[in-house]
Amino acid sequence: MFETETAFYNAHKQEFRAKYLNKRIVIQNETLKGVYDTDTEAYAEATRTMRPGTFAIKVVTSTDADEIAHFTSRVYA
């Protein structure tokens, strides 16, 4: 899922970092559809013209390491 959008982002990552650092970008297929300040704004605007599941929202980060999400759990067995 979102292989095309991810490939497009990776191919243009340096350009996006130079122009849109810390912004949320909406990508559909191989097209940049919009640039927003928040996740909420990006999703709300994207769903005005596109169905959910047909676009990706990416946060433009300064490094590849910043793109990795880490989750922890306090579940004890």
Structure tokens of 32?
A: 């940049």
For the segment 35-74, what is each residue's pLDDT rounded down to a tens digit? 999 999 999 999 999 999 999 999 999 998 888 876 666 7
Residue whose token pair is 């940049």: 32
CA nearest 22: which of 53, 57, 60, 54?
60
Cα–Cα distance measured from residue 49 to residue 13, given in angstroms and rounded to the nearest whole number? 25
Q: What is the pLDDT of residue 25?
A: 97
Q: What is the pLDDT of residue 77?
A: 58
pTM: 0.85
Residue 30 has pLDDT above 80, yes or no: yes
